[in-house]
Structures are given as C-alpha cells and as structure tokens.
Chain A
Amino acid sequence: MVDLIATGTDLHGTCRGRLLDVRKAMQRVERFMLAQDVAPETWDDLNLVMSEAMTNIARHAYPDQEGSIGFHLHLDQTAVRCCLVDSGIAFDPSSTGRAAPEPSAFPEGGYGWFLVRSLTDTLSYNRKDGVNTLRFSILHGVTRP
C-alpha cells in the first residue's frame, strides 16, 4: 500500500512499513523524480539513501511489520531534502556507519548507514512523542569518491 501526493517540486507519501511496500514506494518515487529536472546521479543517490533508511525502519522500527512510514521530498536549487517519519521503535543513528566495513572480510551486512552517511550532505534524527523523524539532504550534481 502506497499513497502519494505530488505538488510541483514536493512529494508527500506514506507506505506500510514492510520491505515489499518500501520497494513499491521507491518505484513511485522514481516516477516523480524522473519527471523533475535532476541529474541521474542525484536520483541514484536519493534512491539508495531513501531505500536504506526506509528498509531500516521496516526491519528495526516495526519488527512485527505493523506500522507506516511517511515520506516527504522537497527539491530546491541546491539539494533534494527528504524527511522520513515513523512511530516505531526508537533508533538513533548518530554513532552508526562512521566507518566502512572491511571488504576483504566479506561482511554480509553493515553497509547501510555507511552508505547513507557517505551520500548525504546533512543528516539528522529526532524523536518526539513516540515519533522518529529522520531528515537528510543530497546536493545536486556532487560527485563523491
């Protein structure tokens, strides 16, 4: 289940906090983003960061798979700004993903927050009245190593 409202350079949506619904939501976000005049790299980065963050909510905030994720995108001249809202279990990512997993150890996980951190310009988390809010921004046309 995915609900969306697009107005100009803003997109508001909600989906169920399940992996398949996150996937469907991202396919709808893709349609919105492709209709905007942004560089393909900006969409690629947003796709990865939003997918990682929403997957994290589906897996860890809603272990019983019951709950919803709200998302809001706003495009301006310099950046894509995203806000994700859920009412699941609290998770403060401020100490997560500071370093990349060592590739030669072939870890099967632990990449998610490192990627989020690598691709975002700003990243903040807030919890208030049982609601988690994650905000991040991705600059247009920035080629990162």
Chain B
Amino acid sequence: MIKLRNIDRYIDKRLQRNFILKGIDLDIEEGDFVSIMGPSGAGKSTLLNIIGFLDDANEGEYYFLDEPVHSLNERQKSEYHRSYIGFVFQAYHLIDELTVYENIEMPLLYRKVKGSQRKSMVADMLDRFNIVAKKDLFPNQLSGGQQQLVGVARALIGSPKLILADEPTGNLHSDQSKEIMETFKKLNKEDGVTIIQVTHSDEMASYGDRVINLQDGAVTENNPYEEE
C-alpha cells in the first residue's frame, strides 16, 4: 500500500543542511497496524505527515496504492484525503464552533454525500462510539477522551483505508488511552483498516503488530518484535 524509497526531508540553513529524515525506505502493506517510535526530534511526525501528504519529501519516491505521490497535484491529494486517509491528532483538532454531530458530519460534506445518507452514517458512527447523547454538545463541553473519540469517529466516517494517528493518546490518561487503542485494534482486525500511529509508549505500541524505530531521521529498527 505504501512504498517509500530513499526519502529525504531537510531544512537548509545558511551553509548547513539539517536532515529531518534521511534515506528512508519503508513498505507498509494493507491491513498493517504500524507504530512509529523514537525519541523527540527523530522525525516521527514528519514521516507521518509525508505519508499523509501533508508534507512533501525533498528527495525520494513515494507510492501510495502504486500511485506516485510526488507527482500528484493539490487537487488529487485532496481527493485522497477525502476518500482514503483519515487523521487522528494528539490535540484532537475538532472545530470549536461545530457540535459533535457537525464535526463528524463534515468530511461527508466535502464528499458531497446526500443529506439522508449523511444522517444515517453519522447516526451509525455516534452509535458505534456510544456518544449519541453528546451529539449536540460542543467540543469544549467534552472530556479529552470523549473529544478523541469524536476525532476518531470523524476520521472513520469516510471509511478510509488508512488511518494516520499522531500520538492519539498523548493527552489522555490510561483508561481513555486503552479505549482508543482497543478501538483501533478492532478496526484493524475487523474492518481491515491500515493504521499507522506515532507513539512514545511501548504499551500503546503493543496494540499494533509492527514497530518502526526512528533515530535521527533514519530507520534503525524495522519491526524489532517480529524477530523475537
């Protein structure tokens, strides 16, 4: 599904070139649940952003479903965002002015889904995450875990093939974190959704079936647990 070849991401500063990512080669198959780990500044988020088309690599090739991403234009990238990729953020990033219902509904609006169908899809999602009672509340009326649930619901409503989660549990306490991770695991197993998450925690990483360790912009260990 995802094929990265010799990806470089750097910032030029006067005479020096600072590499954030250097020579990344990575293959991720459909149905994988991957955790990207590593110390602060290792380039985890940058890698995730590149995978999610939010950032561009300076060098190298990236194929998404065998489509060369480096030659996609903005419009096509938006198309992929709409149909294939869902994002979950550490800071939830819900729109403050919209209710829970409206936040979840929003991706459907950009996909021009009809009103009646939209209603049933949002209702399904609310039901699935047990937040029907909260549908008319605004994000600031929810707890962090609830907000993240809404965030996940929003990411899922477009039935994406890939979910990118940047420290989804970083702001949550352990019970809430577990709930989110269980959800991810279930999605991965039952619906076959590919999940890539960035995390600091070994416990969270253990929900996945593959770990990629990054250090100073390079993959140091690919799938360390598999060998055990």
- A and B bind: no
